[in-house]
């Protein structure tokens, strides 16, 4: 079975062709990084126009790179939310059009489910597993029992972790997106120089909070004796922030694992996915936390942690494999909680 996956919910125009035996035949990603960088964040209107302009060419090159034609496909999947509505509409409409013209099944995919299912594409892990999804818009724990079968254990009560990385980078004068910039410079810094808060640490639930950490970094950068022109200062603050974020995530993960083990005594895997899961300090810390709890830790390679079409195609394959597909009436959803029950048609 061959599926095309289309991802346009944020600032990547991405198309992939994936086979059900886990081969990624093509994985085209056009980043709009340079279009948004002058604004320090994603501008929805610019994103939508750019998707509209580039998606047809990316679809064509996705097919060419894979060496396949539309007639070789067995279905088309697209991110239908959550995300920036203009972009989601464009990807969804493109997928529906291809499915309509070529009489193929169409599958509407939740972007966060696509991140959550990626470790099954890359590492062939079994259900159920505990997933930590950390990206620019989300920070959550979810027990993944099957396609379309998710229980959320905890989420952020304010900012997403990726947002905290992006804002911290901006305070430090580092380029957007902040995550890779922070990770880069932090490798030259000492994480123990600055004592930053660890919000929610020790609380009994699995929720996150990042706004206090973000504010603490802002206050630190505004202090008259903090010299942001000194590269060592920037590196030390970046490293201290990164360690604080990783500490918080590991602390919350201990609680999430406890709940997961109670719900699924046979579950033995912790997964991290989403853009922030490409951070190596975070991965190391999660690896250690999982090992202490007797779980294996799996995270996709960084290129499949950030937004891509392969994860959408794979989620489409997972849905089709259990007989789930969607009608052309499926509307784009700017908000779409992962545990919201969506009635799907049978293939
Ligand atoms: O999953 P993603 O590509 O897009 C969303 O769905 O949001 O995640 C993007 C987020 C951004 O906030 C970016 O700064 C962060 O992931 N990110 C990282 C790293 N690479 C990307 N954060 C920390 N360390 C990284 N290496
Ligand atoms: Zn994402």
Is omega for the bond preceding 176 within 30 degrees of 0, making it cis? no
Residues facing residue 77 across a β-bridge: 5, 107
pLDDT of the residue at 346? 58
d(CA 255, CA 341): 25
The pLDDT score that the predictor gives to residue 102 is 98
As given in the structure block, the two tokens for residue 98 are 């291809």
Rg (CA), the chain: 20
pLDDT of residue 273: 96
Per-residue confidence (pLDDT) for residue 311, from 0 to 100: 98
Which residue among 10, 179, 308 is best mutated to probe the pocket of ligand 1, counting the most ligand atoms within 8 A of its Cβ?
179
Structure tokens at 127: 């259900």
12 C-alpha to ligand 1 centroid (Å) = 12
Write the CB contacts of 147 (distance below 8 Å, at least 6 apart in sequence): 113, 117, 315, 318, 319, 321, 322, 324
Q: For the chain, where are the alpha helices, taking DSSP H only? A: 33-36, 44-66, 85-101, 111-123, 161-171, 178-186, 211-222, 231-263, 280-292, 302-305, 310-321
Q: In angstroms, rounded to a whole number, what is the distance separating the alpha carbons of residues 311 and 288? A: 26
Cis upstream peptide for 290 (omega within 30°): no
CA of 279 to the centre of ligand 1 (A): 9
pLDDT at 340: 84
pLDDT in tens, the chain (347 residues): 999 999 999 999 999 999 999 999 999 999 998 999 888 888 999 999 999 999 999 999 999 999 999 999 999 999 999 999 999 999 999 999 999 999 999 999 999 999 999 999 999 999 999 999 999 989 999 999 999 999 999 999 999 999 999 999 999 999 988 999 999 999 999 999 999 999 999 999 999 999 999 999 999 999 999 999 999 999 999 999 999 999 999 999 999 999 999 999 999 999 999 999 999 999 999 999 999 999 999 999 999 999 999 999 999 999 999 999 999 999 999 999 998 867 776 55
Ligand of minimum distance to the alpha carbon of 312 = 2
From the CA of 277, the nearest ligand is 1
Half-sphere exposure of 207 (CA within 13 A, CB side): 11
Buried b (16+ CB within 10 A) or exposed e, 14-49: bbbbbbbeeebbbbbbbebeeebeeeeebbeebbbb
The pLDDT value recorded for residue 88 is 98
Q: Which residues surround ligand 2, an ion (CB under 5 A)?
A: 135, 307
Asked if omega into 135 is within 30° of 0 (cis), the reply is no
Q: Ligand 1: residues within 6 Å at CB?
A: 10, 135-137, 162, 165-166, 177-180, 183, 274-276, 278-279, 306-307
């Amino acid at each position: 079975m061959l599926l095309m996956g289309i991802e346009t919910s944020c600032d990547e125009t991405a198309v992939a062709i994936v086979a059900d035996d886990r081969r990624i035949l093509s994985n085209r990603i056009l980043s709009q990084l340079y279009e948004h960088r002058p604004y320090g964040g994603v501008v929805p209107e610019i994103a939508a126009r750019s998707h509209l302009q580039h998606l047809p060419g990316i679809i064509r090159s996705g097919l060419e790179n894979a060496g396949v034609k539309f007639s070789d496909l067995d279905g088309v999947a697209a991110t239908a939310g959550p995300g920036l509505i203009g972009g989601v509409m464009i990807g969804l409409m493109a997928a529906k059009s291809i499915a309509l013209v070529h009489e193929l099944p169409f599958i509407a995919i939740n972007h966060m489910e696509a991140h959550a299912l990626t470790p099954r594409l890359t590492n062939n892990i079994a259900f159920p597993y505990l997933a930590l999804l950390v990206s620019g818009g989300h920070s959550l724990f979810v027990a993944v029992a099957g396609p379309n079968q998710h229980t959320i254990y905890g989420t952020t009560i304010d900012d997403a972790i990726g947002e905290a990385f992006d804002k911290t980078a901006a305070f430090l004068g580092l380029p957007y997106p902040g995550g890779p910039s922070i990770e880069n410079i932090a490798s030259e810094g000492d994480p123990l120089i600055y004592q930053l808060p660890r919000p929610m640490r020790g609380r009994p639930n699995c929720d996150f909070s990042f706004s206090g950490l973000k504010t603490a970094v802002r206050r630190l950068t505004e202090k008259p004796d903090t010299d942001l022109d000194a590269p060592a200062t920037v590196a030390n603050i970046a490293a201290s922030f990164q360690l604080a974020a990783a500490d918080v995530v590991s602390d919350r993960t201990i609680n999430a694992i406890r709940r997961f083990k109670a719900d699924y005594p046979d579950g033995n895997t912790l997964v991290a996915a989403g853009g922030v899961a490409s951070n190596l300090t975070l991965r190391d810390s999660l690896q250690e936390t999982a090992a202490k709890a007797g779980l294996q830790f799996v995270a996709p390679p960084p290129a499949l942690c950030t937004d891509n079409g392969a994860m959408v195609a794979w989620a489409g394959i997972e849905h089709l494999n259990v007989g789930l597909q969607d009608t052309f009436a499926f509307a784009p959803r700017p908000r779409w909680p992962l545990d919201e029950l969506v009635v799907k048609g049978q293939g």
